[in-house]
Homo-oligomer: A and B are copies of this chain.
Amino acid sequence: MLGLDADDTLWENEERFHEVEARFRDLVSTWADGETADAALLATERANIARHGYGIKGFVLSMELTAIELSGGAVTAADLGRIIGWGHEMMAHPIELLDGVAETLDVLAGTHRLLVVTKGDLGDQLGKVARCGLDHLFWHVDVVPEKDPEAYRRVLAGRGIDPAEFTMVGNSVKSDVLPVLAIGGRAVHLPHTTTWVFEEPDPDEVAAVDFPVLGSFRDLPAFLDGGDPVS
């Protein structure tokens, strides 16, 4: 039984957010420099993550609130409408599978049952799975609001899976590795080019555990077949 993260593990995601953050800096540049804009947006996201959740719609609402705040209410309705349009663009963006994912998943589907465990907007995440062209390889897809030990416990119990027989693969140590180790599963870290600041794990928690790190999705079959972890 193999668990797979989706965003930035199977396909590109962070990059979409970074592109829009650059447009946002530009939109509010009359009132704030780039660093101030980034910091203000991050603070708004942090303050609202519990109610907005992860995903594009919450990101759009946070950009709106930050633009209103930074401009002291002077930002135009047209610009605020433009931000919603960016969100719609993100939702419709073609899926860009990461290197080696398509051919490797094809191999893995022959040896493992594949369970996608991802967080974000429900419809957006399921839509990406449906559009990615690999839907037929997945056993089930579970979208959760937060990837903590309790969420993994619920997902595995709901699917009748013993954590001791579960291995999770993902790009986030905080969301894909630590909570799975905490409930007695195994986890493999597959770093992506960038890590969102909200996904930075507690260094003490990381120091207390040991987990394999692979350089490429292509390394998974050999590793799961008993090959040595890279680190």
Query: Which chain A residues have a beta carbon within 8 Å of chain B's beta carbons?
Result: 51-53, 57-58, 60-61, 64-65, 67-68, 71, 73-78, 80-81, 84, 87-88, 91-92, 121-124, 126-127, 140, 143-146, 158-160
Given the known interface contacts A122-B121, A145-B122, A145-B123, the answer about A67 and B77 at a Cβ–Cβ threshold of 8 Å is: yes
Docked pose: A51 CA to B92 CA in angstroms: 8
Query: Taking CB as reference atom, which chain B residue is nearest A71?
Result: B77
Docked pose: A158 CA to B122 CA in angstroms: 17
The 10 lowest CB-CB distance pairs between A and B, nearest first, are: A53-B123, A123-B145, A57-B57, A122-B122, A68-B81, A68-B77, A73-B77, A73-B78, A75-B77, A51-B91
Q: Chain B CB within 10 Å — which of A60, A74, A121 has the most?
A: A121
Given the known interface contacts A123-B145, A145-B122, the answer about A80 and B53 at a Cβ–Cβ threshold of 8 Å is: no
Give 26 CB contacts A-B under 8 Å: A51-B88, A51-B92, A52-B57, A53-B122, A53-B123, A53-B124, A57-B57, A57-B58, A60-B61, A61-B61, A64-B64, A67-B77, A68-B77, A68-B81, A73-B77, A74-B77, A75-B77, A76-B77, A77-B77, A121-B121, A121-B122, A122-B122, A123-B145, A127-B145, A143-B143, A158-B158
* A16 nearest CB across to chain B (Å): 15
**Chain B residues positioned under 8 Å from A122 (CB to CB):** 53, 121-122, 143-145
Given the known interface contacts A145-B122, A159-B158, the answer about A61 and B57 at a Cβ–Cβ threshold of 8 Å is: yes
Docked pose: A65 CA to B75 CA in angstroms: 15
Query: Taking CB as reference atom, which chain B residue is nearest A58?
Result: B57
Docked pose: A161 CA to B125 CA in angstroms: 24
Contact of A80 among B68, B92, B144 (CB under 8 A): B68
